[in-house]
Amino acid sequence: VSLVYKSEATRGEIWREIFAREMPDLPFHVWPEVGDRASVRYLVCWVPPENLTEQFPNLDVLFSVGAGVDQFDFSTLPADLPVVRMTEEGIAEGMVQYATMAVLALHRDLFVYQSQQRKEAWRTLPHMPAGQRRVGVMGLGMLGKRVLEQLRPFGFDLAGWSRSGCDLDGIDSYAGAEQLPAFLARTDILICLLPLTEETRGVLDRDLFACLPVGAALINVGRGGHLNQDNLLHALASGQLRHAVLDVCDPEPLTQGHPFWSHPHITLTPHIASVTHAQTGAQTLIENLRRHQRGEGMVGVVNRQSGY
Ligand code: NDP
Ligand code: OXD
């Protein structure tokens, strides 16, 4: 029984050492080196190799190195192959930091002040108390919930929306398509933390923007595929939206000359909201491997039906 790691090389070398120490009986191969293909039971990757089943005919589990699994084409994976996403603490920590940074920057008009500075303009804007700023998170999973909890001490008026809602203390919960318009109507700063699935692709579109209060702001930390780019440009031009902070785009990177690069009301970062930390990521993977070897359920198993 062996494991193949196929992803970022630096992390691979760190994981190789951790595995040698913690699971010395499990051979750890770093792609393209795979050892005996027939003995590979675990594949840990961002994108799997082509012809996965021919490459590794006896695979037991496919692990994503990241929290998302939309990079997998489920139709090409064996139907009964468990797919497990990464749930390590470092991902939540990074996301919470990024979302807090973006919310505070929008709340305190940092992007407006930056542009004023470039024009040598010393002008104060009206200050809005946090209690009057309505922040809403779409997607209340591992990351969305943590972001809301972290934002609570600032005193924002908080709400969340997901398929099934949530019961976080002091946070208004909205569930399902019927309650989406009401959630949007009360949201000045919208954070997208949904997984990208057939249902959520393109969700950040003209209709959704139209449900937000005029002058709302968007933070997309989900996936580029959630956003209709033309609709965003239109919403920014009309003033329906005042600013967008985008950590993800489609494609990544954006093509040269794409209007987002130089847009005065778009702030772009190169998919860095959070990354899997080498140490805690290895630990989380090892705990899951041990669970699997004991015949117990693993943490982060993806529902192949819903796609997340
Ligand atoms: P989870 O699977 O834990 O949570 C997903 C949430 O989205 C759940 O609350 C779920 O609802 C909700 N949801 C899914 N589909 C729908 C739908 N059709 N309608 C309404 N709600 C829906 O995911 P995570 O919190 O771990 O991660 C979310 C995403 O964040 C990842 O998939 C990835 O795309 C992105 N990400 C981005 C990173 C970055 O650096 N930019 C880093 C890490 C992740 P319910 O609870 O009812 O099932
Ligand atoms: C992830 C990501 O899914 O980095 O972990 O986006």
User: What DSSP state is assigned to residue 301?
Assistant: B
- Per residue in 231-257, pLDDT (tens digit) is 999 999 999 999 999 999 999 999 999
Residue minimizing CA distance to atom 7 of ligand 1:
139
Give yes or no for a contact between 44 and 5, defined as CB atoms under 8 angstroms apart: yes
Which one is catalytic: 223, 242, 277, 292?
A: 223
Mutational test site, ligand 1, from 98, 161, 162, max ligand atoms within 8 Å of CB:
162
In Å, how far are 26, 185, 209, 212, 304 from 240, measured between CA atoms?
55, 12, 7, 8, 36
Q: What's the CA-to-centroid distance between 193 and ligand 2, angstroms?
A: 11
Q: Which of the four pLDDT bands, split at 50, 70 and 90, describes residue 308? A: very high
Alpha carbon of 69 to ligand 1 centroid (Å): 10
- Integer Cα distance of 105 and 100 in angstroms: 8
Question: What mean pLDDT comes out for the span 134-142?
Answer: 98
Encode pLDDT of 162-177 as tens digits.
999 999 999 999 999 9
* Cα-to-chain-centroid distance, residue 116: 31
Work out the pLDDT band at 215, boundaries 50, 70, 90. Answer: very high
Give the pLDDT mean for 266-275: 98
Residue 80 near residue 270, CB atoms below 8 Å: no
Q: What is the mean pLDDT of residues 76-86?
A: 96
277 flagged as catalytic: no
Q: Is 223 marked active-site?
A: yes
Residue 58 has what pLDDT? Answer: 98
Q: What percent of the chain has pLDDT over 90?
A: 100
Contacts of 15 (CB under 8 A, 6+ apart): 5, 28, 278, 281, 282, 285
| Spatial separation of the C-alpha atoms in residues 54 and 268, rounded to whole Å | 40
Mean pLDDT, rounded, for 65-84 = 96
**How far does residue 92's CA lie from ligand 2's centre (Å)?**
10
Distance CA 46, CA 40 (A): 17
Q: What is the pLDDT of residue 118?
A: 97
User: For residues 61 and 221, what is the distance between their CA atoms, to the nearest angstrom?
Assistant: 27
Q: What gap in Å lies between CA 129 and CA 150, rounded to an integer? A: 18
| Arithmetic mean of pLDDT, 68-81 | 95
Mean pLDDT estimate for the chain: 97
Which parts of the chain fold into alpha helices (H)?
9-22, 52-55, 89-107, 110-118, 142-151, 176-185, 206-211, 229-238, 259-262, 278-293
d(CA 171, CA 160) in angstroms, rounded, equals: 7
Whole-number Å distance between alpha carbons of 63 and 288: 10
Catalytic residue among 152, 234, 271, 304: 271
Q: What is the mean pLDDT of residues 52-78?
A: 96
Q: What is the pLDDT of residue 167?
A: 92
Please report the pLDDT score of residue 284 as a whole number: 98
The whole-angstrom separation of Cα 108 and Cα 103 is 8
Query: For position 22, what pLDDT does the model report?
Result: 97
Residue 31, pLDDT score: 97
The ligand placed nearest to the CA atom of residue 223 is 1
| Terminal Cα-to-Cα distance of the chain (whole angstroms) | 28
Q: Separation of 141 CA from ligand 1 center, angstroms?
A: 5
pLDDT for the residue numbered 35 = 97
pLDDT computed for residue 2 by the predictor: 98
Closest CA to ligand 2's atom 2: 66
Q: CA–CA separation, 215 vs 236, rounded Å?
A: 9
pTM: 0.97
Taking the CA of 219 as reference, the closest ligand is 1
Rounded CA Rg of the chain: 21
pLDDT score of 231: 98
